[in-house]
Structure 1
Amino acid sequence: MTPTDPRFAPVAELFERFAQEDPAYAGQLALYYRGEPVLDLSVGPDRAPQARPEPGGDGGAEDPAFTREVMTGVFSCSKGAAGVVMALLVQDGVLDLDAPVAAYWPEYGQAGKEATTVRQALSHQAGSLGVAGGFTVEEYNNSQLAAARLAAAPPNWRPGAVFSYHGLSIGILMEELVRRITGSTLQEVYEERIRAPHGIDFYLGLPESEEPRYRDVLKPEAGPLPFIDPFGYLGTAFNSTGGFTREDGEPGELLDLPNDRAIRAAGMSSAGGVANARGLARLYAAASTGIVGEDGTRSEPLLTEHTQTIMAEDQVFGPDRADGLVKAFGVVFMKPTPEKDFGSWRVFGHEGANGSFGYADPSYGIAFGYVPARGEDGGTLSRNGQLSVRVRQAVLQALAGG
């Protein structure tokens, strides 16, 4: 779409240049400003239909073109959607961030985790990175099974002493808390209270009816991720001791996860979400400003200003215990650092391992979504920036000059 606000024309032009600078590039970009969509773009050659290989085969069904409507895996952006669910429970008064996790989930209160608080668990301080041997895909897809194993395991450090990104297990923690508090799954609460009422193209559990719109995540051209010690902190956090098995029975990597139908159908809240850029931006607009409809009326924001402040408040900042990278987290949500500066002190959002990114910045009234067709060096596993950094800076420059 052509920018509805001329101030954002330079942002659209910059995004178009990505495809000019790299003929292989394809991606999506969406922006809401004060609740109204002002950008919804896709660029690149992958807008043309391609053959979508079947697992273990040489070809198969036609892959949907990488248009604005296509959805793909967005990895840890899923945590942002789950974070809005957790924020609603806080706002409802049924989840106390400073209560022990065991107050809601008694089995978790063992093996040195008796005093671990919800706040610690939701800001990567709990030390519940994983379990010996890793989790199976089946345990992630039915996280009650994974939760029982995680509850019995000792923490990887004294809870609260340090922090390290709970790349996959934070989804188990969130899902079990929601199940214990509401009697429903996190995915059900998200669908009923957030996604469906606001028409958001961001699914935690992609229905079969939406499969024709799914596009496989393409691997980075740089190749697979480097070796990670399976028994170290990082290896434990990313399930290296268990790994993943693809649909064709071969070993899989993290970036294979959403390309497995069983995983995207289950919608694991740490990494199984499926979205397009519009869906990311619309989620954060619904959460922070409300959305202006075609009739000019605005929906109430899902989260009050007070709740947004609670969830966006910095909980940890500094070097991650596992990889030494400087990171910052609020409650569930990522926060800016000098190396990855994506907004004001009020901003809240999450990026994904493939370089996808979604966030809301209440200071500017913006909600942002970015999704590349091919994984980029610069997602949650990298110290480098990615193309979305340039776009985010352009958005802020557009607003500063307006």
Structure 2
Amino acid sequence: MRPSTTSLSTGFATAEFSAVRALFDTFLAEDPDYSAQLAVYRDGAKVLELSGGPQLAPGDITGTFSCSKGVAAFVIALLVQDGTLDLDRTMSSYWPEFGAQGKDRLSVRQALSHQAGVPGVVGGFALDEFTTAAAAARLAAAVPLWRPGTAFGYHALTMGILMEELCRRVAGTTLQELYEARIRRPFGIDFFLGLPEDQEPRYRDVLYAADPDRSWLDPLSMAGLNSNAPVSTIMELPNHRAIRAAGMSSAGGVGSADGLARLYAAATTGLDSGAPFLTPRTVGTMSEEQVWGLDRASGQDNAFAIVFMKPQPGRDFGSHRAFGHEGASAALGFADPAYGLGFGYVPRRSEEGRTNGRAQRLSAAVRKAAHAAGGKFLHL
């Protein structure tokens, strides 16, 4: 189905990115239930911001699941840039208790690239436990599922616990407080790790498939540990006020597509001719691929930098320089320094399990438009 000659989306796109808007409108025309936001910055200037569909209006915010990890990783990047956190020291040098059960030689670099072997704990974490020192203590005492540093597997929920406890240990404050003080407020980022009560009227629950798979998940399987079954399921998390209020950095972040795109732009290109908050050296350190291949937790190919996802054939969201993070709903935020891009995509209804890859198709259209527009390309 072709979109009508009248645009179905609300917002704007510069002339160079009009083909991206046409593609977004095609998605809206094909599915009357489809609702999403899309935003793009190029060289620090906003070149596209769109909303469409009946369930997600301009100004709305919703859960983005593991996009939260990418947001939280910028706090880690600042600690690395400050010299407060050394990626090549052991986790136990900062967090002695974490060295239990054979984890004493694991480096921060390895832990933050999903090599720790602790993607969950038996019995799962209570919803109000994730962002606490109690969760960190349970994770520190856990027996790893593989020898740390010898394999990698996506730590879907425990990556946030690792990042948050490192912040407490090295900075003496919480990751959420650092994010608010050093990133969100100074750069006007419409993305929250800890949604204030006064922002609640803007929040829209994530919607799910009409007929979700309700098959039993063995809580003692790899998938069960990874998804915290049966205490909670990943797909429920941001719709719990307690989770989004606490700002659980694995999956509790809440925001808009513009919030994601603006954050990645602020970090890498700067905004409106201002300096980025990360140096090129820090961007290179954080975005350097650490692992690629068969993910021990998911059984699928995956690639990670320090926390951030990297593009690979099964997740082709950017150039070789790109880094970012997707969420379980198919939300996606990334920076692509090769094209000077900050990108954010947030759907209202989870696209989990879909094979059409809307976020990747939009990303490809954005990169094609940026390439055709020419101009500055950064440090290829």
**Taking structure 2 as the reference length, what is the TM-score of the superposition?**
0.93
CA distance in 1, matches of 2:213, 2:266: 36
CA distance in 1, matches of 2:278, 2:237: 30
Counterpart pick for 1:86 among 68, 76, 80: 76
Q: 1:3-402 residue pairs with structure 2 within 5 A?
A: 3-4=13-14, 6-46=15-55, 66-140=56-130, 142-224=131-213, 226-240=215-229, 242-244=230-232, 253-292=233-272, 298-378=273-353, 384=355, 386-402=357-373
Kept in 2, the 8 Å contact 1:68–1:277? The answer is no
Change in Cα spacing, 1:324 to 1:385, as seen in structure 2 (3 Å) is farther
- Structure 1, unmatched stretches of 5+, are 47-65, 245-252, 293-297
Change in Cα spacing, 1:306 to 1:189, as seen in structure 2 (3 Å) is same
CA distance in 1, matches of 2:268, 2:356: 26
CA distance in 1, matches of 2:215, 2:257: 28
CA positional deviation for 1:225: 5.9
CA positional deviation for 1:323: 2.5
Kept in 1, the 8 Å contact 2:339–2:371? The answer is no
Q: Deviations over 1:266-304 (max 9, x none)?
A: 010000000110001011011111111xxxxx2211111
Q: Secondary structure of 1:32's partner?
A: strand
CA positional deviation for 1:224: 3.7
Aligned length in residues: 363
CA positional deviation for 1:116: 0.9
Kept in 2, the 8 Å contact 1:79–1:269? The answer is yes
Q: Secondary structure of 1:138's partner?
A: coil
CA distance in 2, matches of 1:115, 1:143: 24
Q: Secondary structure of 1:401's partner?
A: helix
CA distance in 2, matches of 1:395, 1:225: 36
Change in Cα spacing, 1:222 to 1:158, as seen in structure 2 (3 Å) is same
Letter aligned with residue 35 of structure 2 = A
Instruction: Tell me the equivalent position of 2:7.
Output: none
CA distance in 1, matches of 2:213, 2:326: 19
Q: Deviations over 1:142-189 (max 9, x none)?
A: 421100111111111101111100000010000000000111100000
Instruction: Tell me the equivalent position of 1:249.
Output: none
What is the percentage of aligned positions where both structures have the same residue?
56
RMSD: 1.3
Letter aligned with residue 72 of structure 2 = A
**Taking structure 1 as the reference length, what is the TM-score of the superposition?**
0.88
Letter aligned with residue 229 of structure 1 = D
CA distance in 2, matches of 1:156, 1:385: 33
